[in-house]
Chain A
């Protein structure tokens, strides 16, 4: 034991005997007693609200009954998971989640990059700052307000968009009640709310470009578009790559509040995703065990994606989220 410790603790140090080590530990504890005391509420918070629920995930292997409690409910093994994977509902949820996520990556992801590139080409500082002030605003508004505004614009009952369509002789479109429009509207709402805010990180990367590079490019006769392609884009390439990878890590997070607010009985077929289903089945209908099983499935896949995305980010020489 002593020998092992000695070899582990390096060359210059002598093998510490356990008693003095314990004393040293106690001395460090005494010296930092305030630090440990300060840590206590935070640790308690994480234990109660993050780790206790992880323990609670075990109810997905039970037939949990609130009046029997965790200890009294029957264990049923993988029953709920078997039910889940054999239910056509599962494939619908998976498809809806994946399609929405794909829409998000294809249409929303490039938007802040394009907008940041456009802002970066503005030479008048005042104009640029005014634009920035305007495009950040929607980020701070709640989803309830965004969906509320979308409702007033898109309703067939006197909404501006439909009135405009009617005015040019078209037929009113039930944007809010049609399954065909659901995904486009969800994606447009996200773009409206978050594109401006998303530019911040790219603008920061763009601010780091050495102006001499542009000068050199101009000397060589490069046009503005060629400067954009050969100087600006390479400067933010690593930011784009890392954000793309990290986005893949949260691929399944479709955003509960927005979808929950946009869903109704007429578009539920394409609108229901894992998050909203867990809420409806678990909280509203009280199917605690089954909805926990659905949530656990999503969490496990999400966890694998995040870890994988971080591995990938490190491969690209970036730091990742953790």
Chain B
């Protein structure tokens, strides 16, 4: 009966229509990237002669040669790599260090502290007062401004705290009996047991740093210290920066340059993405489980 039902044409039609629609939607989410990559390798002749060009027939590195003719882009990428590595380490250190004590029920002042931390998720002082504080701490125009004011995400902190809380109490008790101190327990027992969670949150923090834009335009005036996203906006959206000081050859069409810059600044995320996907998905679900 079931088999007969499943074989009927309506069942098949449903499947085909559904799968086709899904394939179209998924393609719509990936094809723009493919287009960007393809155009970044196009020749100027082809782009200039055919503005509806979708798939270049000839391959060229003109765009990339041009954007690397000055060190501006590489320098900016270096800033972003540095801020991402150091920033993520600071995030992890601060988040784990703060979450661990808060996971202890016997800690005095735990409830008021948790309430104060939660309150920062509900009420935000806004960018101007925060800007004035960062400025008064002399952090503006330093890389510290991109790292320290966002050292802890309250939401991530709470999720990590909840994860620590549901580790079995016995582990810590027996370690205490063996004479281990709290930092020792955190380092040797809690962190090794929490590696999947820590991996997930390092990824979230790292992507956040890589894509950081708002704090850079708030706190960094010095174009020497711009992370890649700010430079990207200047080039692609505002068309304000020429990358080359070579005056002897005309630059390739801005379309090729823009695409090459986008590829260059997004590739690191897209290259790692397939390997990290499952951690990300896990992280979303971790956040939705309340403890």
From B151, which residue of chain A is reached at the shortest CB distance?
A45
Evaluate whether A291 and B52 lie within 8 angstroms (CB atoms) in the complex, with A148-B236, A149-B36 already known.
no
List CB contacts (< 8 Å) of A292-322 with chain B: 292, 295-296, 298-299, 302-303, 306-307, 319, 321-322
Q: Does A20 sit at the interface, judged by CB under 8 A?
A: no
Chain B, residues 161-177, CB within 8 Å of chain A (1/0): the string is 00000000000000000
Q: Does B195 sit at the interface, judged by CB under 8 A?
A: no
CA distance A299 to B285 in the complex (A): 28
Interface with B: A4-12, A81-89, A278-286, which one?
A: A278-286
Chain B, residues 83-114, CB within 8 Å of chain A (1/0): the string is 00000000000100110111010111000010
Asked whether, in the complex, the Cβ of B22 is within 8 Å of the Cβ of A140, the reply is no
B100: chain A residues at CB < 8 Å are 35, 38
Chain A, residues 230-244, CB within 8 Å of chain B (1/0): the string is 000000000000000
Interface with B: A93-101, A102-110, A114-122, A179-187, which one?
A: A114-122
Interface residues on A, range: 35 or more
Chain A, residues 146-168, CB within 8 Å of chain B (1/0): the string is 01110111000010100110010
CA distance A322 to B181 in the complex (A): 31
CA distance A91 to B1 in the complex (A): 63
B262: chain A residues at CB < 8 Å are 145, 148-149
Asked whether, in the complex, the Cβ of B33 is within 8 Å of the Cβ of A302, the reply is no
Q: Does A75 sit at the interface, judged by CB under 8 A?
A: no
B131: chain A residues at CB < 8 Å are 282-283
B266: chain A residues at CB < 8 Å are 141-142, 145
Asked whether, in the complex, the Cβ of B182 is within 8 Å of the Cβ of A307, the reply is no
Distance of A126 from chain B, by nearest CB (Å): 12
List CB contacts (< 8 Å) of B213-249 with chain A: 213-214, 218, 229-230, 232-233, 236-237
13 inter-chain pairs at a CB distance below 8 angstroms, sorted by A residue, are: A36-B101, A38-B183, A45-B94, A46-B120, A54-B129, A57-B125, A133-B274, A138-B29, A164-B52, A192-B29, A197-B284, A291-B128, A319-B290
Distance of B244 from chain A, by nearest CB (Å): 19
Q: Does A22 sit at the interface, judged by CB under 8 A?
A: no
Asked whether, in the complex, the Cβ of A46 is within 8 Å of the Cβ of B117, the reply is yes
Asked whether, in the complex, the Cβ of A56 is within 8 Å of the Cβ of B14, the reply is no
CA distance A142 to B99 in the complex (A): 28
A307: chain B residues at CB < 8 Å are 122
Residues of B within 8 A of A (CB): 1-2, 5, 10-11, 14-15, 18-19, 21-23, 25-30, 32-33, 35-36, 51-52, 54, 94, 97-98, 100-102, 104, 106-108, 113, 116-118, 120-134, 137, 148-149, 151-152, 157, 181-183, 186, 207, 210-211, 213-214, 218, 229-230, 232-233, 236-237, 255, 258-259, 262, 265-266, 269-270, 273-274, 277, 280-281, 284-285, 288, 290
Q: Does A209 sit at the interface, judged by CB under 8 A?
A: no
Q: Does A200 sit at the interface, judged by CB under 8 A?
A: yes
List CB contacts (< 8 Å) of A255-292 with chain B: 256-257, 260-261, 278-279, 282-283, 288, 291-292
B106: chain A residues at CB < 8 Å are 28, 32
B121: chain A residues at CB < 8 Å are 321-322
Asked whether, in the complex, the Cβ of A136 is within 8 Å of the Cβ of B211, the reply is no
Asked whether, in the complex, the Cβ of B129 is within 8 Å of the Cβ of A119, the reply is no
Q: A54-B123, A143-B213, A292-B126 are in contact. List 4 more A-B contacts (CB 8 A).
A: A52-B133, A131-B23, A135-B29, A295-B126
From B36, which residue of chain A is reached at the shortest CB distance?
A149
CA distance A219 to B2 in the complex (A): 7
Asked whether, in the complex, the Cβ of A147 is within 8 Å of the Cβ of B213, the reply is no
A131: chain B residues at CB < 8 Å are 22-23, 26
Residue among A35, A130, A200 making CB contact with B182, cutoff 8 Å: A35
Could you count the A-B residue pairs with CB atoms below 8 Å apart for me: how many are there?
A: 249
CA distance A39 to B182 in the complex (A): 12
A53: chain B residues at CB < 8 Å are 125-126, 129-130, 132-133
Asked whether, in the complex, the Cβ of A149 is within 8 Å of the Cβ of B32, the reply is yes
Distance of A58 from chain B, by nearest CB (Å): 9
Residues of A within 8 A of B (CB): 25, 28-29, 32, 34-36, 38-39, 41-43, 45-46, 48-57, 59, 115, 118-119, 121-123, 127, 130-131, 133-138, 140-145, 147-149, 151-153, 158, 160, 163-164, 167, 192, 196-197, 200-201, 204, 215, 218-219, 221, 223-225, 256-257, 260-261, 278-279, 282-283, 288, 291-292, 295-296, 298-299, 302-303, 306-307, 319, 321-322
Asked whether, in the complex, the Cβ of B30 is within 8 Å of the Cβ of A137, the reply is yes
Distance of A306 from chain B, by nearest CB (Å): 5
Evaluate whether A39 and B274 lie within 8 angstroms (CB atoms) in the complex, with A54-B123, A201-B285, A292-B126 already known.
no
CA distance A200 to B273 in the complex (A): 16
Evaluate whether A283 and B127 lie within 8 angstroms (CB atoms) in the complex, with A135-B26, A136-B280, A137-B270 already known.
yes
Asked whether, in the complex, the Cβ of A192 is within 8 Å of the Cβ of B214, the reply is no
Asked whether, in the complex, the Cβ of A122 is within 8 Å of the Cβ of B22, the reply is yes
Distance of A110 from chain B, by nearest CB (Å): 14
